Amino acid sequence: MSPSKLDSTDSFGHEEASVSCSKPENGCVDSLSIFHSEKAVEELLQQTPVAGMDEHLIEFSEALRTVAKALRRAAEGKASAQAEAAEWKRRYELERTRNIQMEQKARMAEQFSAEKNGDLDCERVKNSDNQSMLQNESNEHSETGCMKHGIWSHEVLRDRESDSNSNADRNKIMRKASFKLSWWCNGENGDQHKHDIVSFERGNITTAERSSKQISLKWESDPQTVLILTKPNSVSVRILCVQMVRWLRERKKLNVYVEPRVKVELLAESSNFSYVQTWKDDSEISHLHMKVDLVITLGGDGTVLWAASMFKGPVPPIVPFSLGSLGFMTPFHSEHFKDCLDSVLRGPISITLRHRLLCRVVRDAAKNEYETEEPFLVLNEVTIDRGISSYLTNLECYCDNSFVTCVQGDGLILSTTSGSTAYSLAAGGSMVHPQVPGILFTPICPHSLSFRPLILPEHVTVRIMVPFNSRSPAWASFDGKDRKLLAAGDALLCSMAPWPVPTACQVDSTNDFLRSIHDGLHWNLRKTQSFDGPRDRDL
């Protein structure tokens, strides 16, 4: 019996099946023919065997099983090939559409740059774009808006999931909404003026690089004038000051400014220090930032605070030498002052921009919040406390006119991130990297278990008000000085000052900060666990 063709009945009277295969299409077997052929094979194999069946029929049944497996593999291969072809087609269409959109955006950018004032007639742009899009093979659609005072973003996307639907569904367009961003300021007289940049790329918002990144200072011209500020009543500081002034003048040929008190001490040491300059009254201090290129402090963190308080506006770079009890902001050591100053004067150097708070007291009798007393600039913190009163402070706190909470306790600390390791840390606040722009909101001994410290963003204005139902007034101090009485109805406004204090780094801002909390606070210092104790057993 030929294996390629069977009669309708065999010698045993059983009905046989006819196996046929349709003509292959694109190198693959037709799936319908495969289904019928495999079904015929299964029916033949399911017939009840008869005793004494010829061995040739047994061999033929095994051959049919092999054919059925081959047909199944062919069907699976065809389905896989069709899926792969569809995926490559989809990728090709996606890449083709993306290239067309990039060409359209390039043409629109050329049109905008060709205009003198940057303003285009919206209708003319739309018509020209529509004409250029009709010439594309993909029939893509796009819209553009006219840009005058800001940055527009408009993206046209095609719904890829509709490719398998009808022609009308394939041409379905999803338009991404356009938008324009602008910086909000609290009135013309407000102090929340920001100059950051927001860039747009295909409708996505990315922020510009901020001052929180590591900053390097490079001199455009050689420094000419140096101001030296010293800690008073210290013999070691006085000796170092004499050596430093002489070295800066003789070796570096720099003009040296000192405080009037220090000049008297230098002249008492030797009359050769007559070249040292100083000021006569406080009115000349306001112009120091226009004369001084560099400030050198000899002392501790208190001397750095004193140097920052002298400048009510821009502050020259400060090189702080550690000659005090604390050194969170004084990374340089006096033993190697010549090498340190030589490196700083040569440049470039890494600096830390330490933000300051601008504080204003608004009395109850004031007509508006801009009728204030002389503002204060603080580098560490402003503290509102109950003073000598035995009653709890009662303070209403607002953030950009939004109510925050009511403080009932010993007081409140509004700190910069540079001051996070000072009074705020002692009151339970977090230690924050000094270049993180923010305002720390730390209560002092609050009469509440759930009052936790906050960190507010730099652009907000915090208003602390003494309510009329308060039993006692409050007192405000600015970097531990200049205490002001806050009576009922008075308010204190605090916002980030536009003039930071740049301090030179020995390595970089992060390395100096971590080293200061390790050395100054012995942060997380404990004995290391012994290695020869009991251990977990291996499972």
The catalytic residue positions are 301
Can you say whether residue 524 is alpha, beta or left, with left for phi > 0 and alpha for psi between -120 and 50 degrees?
Answer: left
DSSP state of 420: G
User: Computed from CA positions of residues 276, 281, 282, 285, in that sequence, does the dihedral angle turn out positive or negative?
Assistant: negative
Q: Please state, in angstroms and rounded to a whole number, the distance separating the CA atoms of residues 123 and 144.
A: 10
The rounded radius of gyration (Å) of the Cα atoms in the chain is 40
The 3-state DSSP class for residue 353 equals strand
Amino acid residing at 191: D
For the record, the structure tokens of 280 come out as 């006569």
Return the number of other C-beta atoms located less than 10 Å from residue 282's C-beta.
8
Side chain identity at 413, as an amino acid letter?
I
- CB neighbourhood size of 237 (10 A): 20
User: Per residue in 413-423, is it b (16+ CB within 10 Å) or e — as a string?
Assistant: bbbbbbbbbbb
Ramachandran assignment for 96, one of left (phi > 0), alpha (psi -120 to 50 degrees), beta (any other)? alpha
Tokens of 140: 């893509």
**Using an 8 Å Cβ cutoff, are 266 and 259 in contact?**
no
What DSSP assignment string belongs to 266-294? Answer: HHHH-GGGGG-B--SSGGGGGGGGGT-SE
Cα dist. 278→29, 229, 264, 296, 317 in Å?
Answer: 100, 11, 10, 15, 19
Amino acid at 521: L
